[in-house]
Amino acid sequence: MHESVLLHESLAALNVHADGIYVDATFGRGGHSGEILKLLGERGRLLAFDRDPQAVQVAKQQFADDARFEIIAEPFSAMSRELSARDLMGKVNGILMDLGVSSPQLDEAARGFSFMRDGELDMRMDPTRGFSAAEFIATAKESDLADVIYRLGEDRQSRRIARAIVTARQVEPITRTLQLAKIVADALPRHEKHKHPATRTFLALRLYVNDELGEVERTLPQAVDALAAQGRLAVISFHSLEDRIVKLYLRDEARGPQLPKDLPVRDQEIKRRIKLVDKIMPGEAELKVNPRARSAVLRVAERIR
């Protein structure tokens, strides 16, 4: 069963008004969307994005009869384009971005996200676009593989892992998740306690194949642009790389333009667009029922003008 992380905290952060306009940038399996809809009145409106065809199908099945809801089958980096087409830029009262992969994607072996279940080595959130993880590791240079695993997986053993992958693919194509997981594990005689040795490699490949960090970087400015005054942006991150992007972007936006120290400008004259509202971590009660929430961070900002 899919458990939405920081569900109540994120809803509280959005400060939902009954007649407001809201965006769920990552529909997933509809946990957050369903709760937002419960708080909306007849005049309220919720637009949800998801590039995963399975998630889009779930959205259509769950909320097909709800006139307040619309699912948009696009990555959230299409936010400005899609909201502009609906004349909603600058009018949105709240945006929720629940980053990363969803539990159903991890749990379905055929999607290729998990090193614990055997399936095709795909990892694409939208299997109809782009290249799969198997296609990437079949053709990538050893140096490029090492760079991706080091930069996105933050694995210091990236060169050893890349060398093992290149050696293995010369014997037979690497097309299955457990096949890759074993190659990585065999290449690392010593690894972190209580963590599967392929954890960082699978994370790196997933981030690379889906350009997840690039998606976040492109979308955050669009989300701020989309908000009305007093509109809230709530972003849930699950690992350090994406959280760092969110943290730094929101911090810089909240500071406003960095002017020379000796410039005679009063603080209230600096045109800041947002203010930081909160940073929230899962509580012990949530961690007991949903261990996947352990690395989650919710950051909240509000549009000033």
Assess contact for 132 and 113: CB atoms under 8 A. no
Kindly report whether the global pTM for this prediction surpasses the value 0.75.
yes
32 is in an annotated binding site: yes
Q: What is the pLDDT of residue 108?
A: 78
pLDDT tens-digit map of 156-201 = 999 999 999 999 999 999 999 999 999 999 999 877 777 899 999 9
Kindly tell me if the per-residue pLDDT of 90 is higher than 70: yes
Is 144 annotated as belonging to a binding site?
no
Query: What is d(CA 93, CA 54) in angstroms, rounded to the nearest whole number?
Result: 27
Confidence band for 1, pLDDT divided at 50, 70 and 90 = very low
Beta carbons of 305 and 228 less than 8 angstroms apart = no
What are phi and psi for residue 200, nearest 5 degrees?
-70, -35
Q: Between 108 and 233, where is the model more confident?
A: 233
> Does the annotation place 153 within a ligand binding site?
no
Residue 261 has what pLDDT?
Answer: 62
- What pLDDT shows up at residue 256? 84
Residue 76 counted as an annotated binding residue: yes
Domains of the chain, first to last: 7-98+212-303 (3.40.50.150), 109-210 (1.10.150.170)
| Residue 278 is assigned to a ligand binding site | no
Q: What is the spatial distance between Cα 192 and Cα 185, in angstroms, rounded to a whole number?
A: 11
Residue of higher predicted confidence among 4 and 74: 74
Please give the pLDDT value at position 98: 94
